[in-house]
Amino acid sequence: MDKGSLLAILIGGLLVNNFVLSQFLGICPFLGVSTELRSAVGMSLAVIFVMLMASAATWPIYTYLLVPNDLAYLQTIAFILIIAALVQLVEIALKRFIPPLYKSLGIYLPLITTNCAVLGVTILNIDSGYGFVQSLVNALGAGLGFMLAMVMFAGVRERLESADIPSGLKGLPITLISASLVSVSFLGFQGLFGL
Amino acid sequence: MNRYGKEFTKGILRENPVLRLVLGTCPTLAVTTAAVNGLGMGAAATFVLVCSNIVISLLRKVIPDKVRLPAYIVIIAGFTTIVQMLVKAYLPSIDQALGIYLPLIVVNCIILGRAEAFASKNSVGLSTLDGLGMGAGFTASLVVMGSIRELLGNGTLFGWPENGLLPPITIFVLPAGGFFVFGMLIYLANKLSHRLDKDAAKKELGTQVCAACPMASSCHTAGACETGQSNPVTEPDSKEVKENG
């Protein structure tokens, strides 16, 4: 399959180069919010939404504003500011329209600003030379991959709660070791479609 | 130890940003496939951390409270861009290895965390030391983790020797190995820090109790008397310490 085709990009972000488990982007919310299925889903939806919006906003700004004016080196600063503004917007919208979700996401919503997955996907779009539509599909694949990892891992963690674990390993160490095992399962997708 | 020394050393073990506070996990897991990458990432992040701490500390009375976070992010992004350009120009191989994680220093929670928690409230000197200490702790953790993963996964250490010391266990340089090694390191750091905390608490407890003791002036067992050792109320709760990690 052609590497630039939309399906290949989507599957690539979702399974083969899963953002969380293969590229280590967005680990903080992955470890922080995945204790409960409900908040994991909410957080993932927020991330998918912000990723799509951020890709839609940063690609034209980079291509039509920064590059023609020889300002490509401002990429990092420009992108992080766009994302910060977007997150603020999402926060206001959630507070106004879906207060229970706003409550359950708590402090993690502002943290999306400093979520490397969101900034990462926008920079990857540019680095990989994707066009506008390809960028959006890449963002969607990455976001869905994030959601898949979060939801799967929330299930694992709910089981961990009741498991009998050596005292020193309780909490974060056992969580990371379980994440390692989940990550092994994603190795199976390596080489899928020649990606 | 005076205040300055304390601010510097706390980042290295007791409040190690990676192993104790569990911040900046993304670069920690991603770039530590080789020790030299860990060193490069640590140095780049330390540079940004120290510079942004200095600038934010200098501007702490100028930046209005309401827009402080965007202001911090812009300052950090500026220094990140400088680092990106420097690394690209002088260390192209490191630039290649770190890839997307170099610009992602801007969203490293350690840097924004120190800006918010420390540099915005303290003097320039203290903030510089805090940045240096935290940066050293970050770099040390990355190098330790990179060394372990490189040695087990590739059989080499800092790329030496060429044929490898050990038969490589490839899984350690794969993402799964990253999670596993990180989990074990946090476990070890918790254990070590727990022990240190216990010793320190015992010492402190001793002097506190002794200060209130009428026999203090003629007592030679400072801190080791019976009242100092077995006080169930002030003994630190071991469970709580573990959960904090």
| Whether residue B159 is found in the same domain as residue B208 | no
User: What pLDDT is recorded for position B244?
Assistant: 39
**Which DSSP state fits B157?**
B
Q: Please, what's the b/e burial string for B21-45 (b: 16 or more CB within 10 A of its CB; e: otherwise)?
A: bbbbbbbbbbbbbbbbbbbbbbbbb
Q: Is B178 within the bounds of a domain?
A: no
CB contact under 8 A, B171 and A184: yes
Cβ within 8 Å of B, A 57-116: 73-77, 80-81, 84, 113-116
Rounded Cα gap, residues B78 and B75, in angstroms: 5
Query: Between B68-90 and A75-97, two packed helices, what is the crossing angle to 10 degrees?
Result: 150
State whether residue A7 sits within 8 Å of chain B by CB. no
Q: Is the pLDDT of residue A190 over 60?
A: yes
| Whether residue B148 is found in the same domain as residue B105 | yes
Pairs of residues, one from chain A and one from chain B, whose beta carbons lie less than 8 Å apart: 121
| Whether residue B8 is found in the same domain as residue B115 | yes
CB contact under 8 A, A113 and B182: no
- The model's confidence at residue A57, banded by pLDDT at 50, 70 and 90, is very high
What does the radius of gyration of chain A's CA atoms come to, in whole angstroms? 18
**Do B142 and B25 form a contact (C-beta atoms < 8 A)?**
no
Residue position matching structure tokens 């399906």? A7
**Which residue range is the domain that position B198 belongs to?**
194-244
Closest by CA to A161, choosing from A179, A175, A140, A146, is A175
Domain termination site, one of B173, B205, B222: B173
Q: What is the pLDDT of residues A104-160, one digit of tens each?
A: 665 566 767 667 888 999 999 998 889 999 999 999 999 999 999 999 999 888 888
Q: Is B184 within the bounds of a domain?
A: no
CB contact under 8 A, A77 and B177: no
Q: What is the pLDDT of residues A73-116, one digit of tens each?
A: 888 899 988 888 888 887 888 788 888 877 766 556 676 766 78
Q: Which two tokens stand for residue B236?
A: 């630190």
| Whether residue B118 is found in the same domain as residue B163 | yes
Domain termination site, one of B110, B139, B173: B173
CB contacts of A115 in chain B (<8 Å) are 107
Q: Which two tokens stand for residue A132?
A: 């506008």
User: What pLDDT is recorded for position B131?
Assistant: 93
Q: Is B166 within the bounds of a domain?
A: yes
Sign of CA dihedral B98, B99, B105, B110: negative
CB contact under 8 A, A80 and B179: no
User: What pLDDT is recorded for position B243?
Assistant: 39
| Whether residue B140 is found in the same domain as residue B57 | yes
Q: End-to-end CA distance of chain A, in Å?
A: 9
Rounded Cα gap, residues B166 and B163, in angstroms: 9
| Whether residue B44 is found in the same domain as residue B106 | yes
Q: Is B68 within the bounds of a domain?
A: yes
User: How many separate domains does chain B show?
Assistant: 2
Which of A47-51, A62-66, B45-49 is least confident?
Answer: A47-51
| Whether residue B19 is found in the same domain as residue B67 | yes
Q: Is B103 within the bounds of a domain?
A: yes
| Whether residue B61 is found in the same domain as residue B126 | yes
Q: In a 10 Å sphere around its CB, with 0-12 CB exposed, 13-18 middle and 19+ buried, how is residue B66 labelled?
A: exposed
| Whether residue B148 is found in the same domain as residue B200 | no
What is the chain B residue with the closest CA to A124? B100
Q: Each residue's pLDDT tens digit in chain B (245 positions)?
A: 578 888 888 888 778 888 887 888 888 888 888 899 999 999 999 999 999 999 999 999 999 888 888 889 899 999 999 999 999 999 999 999 888 899 999 888 889 888 888 898 899 999 999 999 999 999 999 999 999 999 998 888 887 777 777 888 888 988 899 999 999 998 988 888 778 777 777 766 655 555 555 555 555 555 554 444 444 444 444 444 333 33
Q: Which two tokens stand for residue B107?
A: 């969203």
Q: Best of A172, A181, A187, A189 to disrupt the B interface by mutation (most B CBs within 10 Å)?
A: A172
Which of A10-19, A28-37, B57-66, B224-233 is least confident?
Answer: B224-233
CB contacts of A80 in chain B (<8 Å) are 73, 77, 106-107
Q: Which two tokens stand for residue B64?
A: 């209005």
CB contacts of B184 in chain A (<8 Å) are 173, 177
Domain termination site, one of B173, B204, B234: B173
| Whether residue B226 is found in the same domain as residue B125 | no
Rounded Cα gap, residues B59 and B4, in angstroms: 21
| Whether residue B207 is found in the same domain as residue B136 | no
| Whether residue B38 is found in the same domain as residue B129 | yes
Q: Is B230 within the bounds of a domain?
A: yes
CB contact under 8 A, A80 and B78: no
**Which DSSP state fits A194?**
G
Mean pLDDT over the full length of chain A:
84
Q: Please, what's the b/e burial string for B179-208 (b: 16 or more CB within 10 A of its CB; e: otherwise)?
A: bbbbbbbbbebbeebbeeeeeeeeeebbee
What residues have CB less than 8 Å from B217, skipping those under 6 apart?
Answer: none
More confident residue, A106 or A180: A180
User: What pLDDT is recorded for position B210?
Assistant: 54
Q: Is B168 within the bounds of a domain?
A: yes
Q: Is B223 within the bounds of a domain?
A: yes
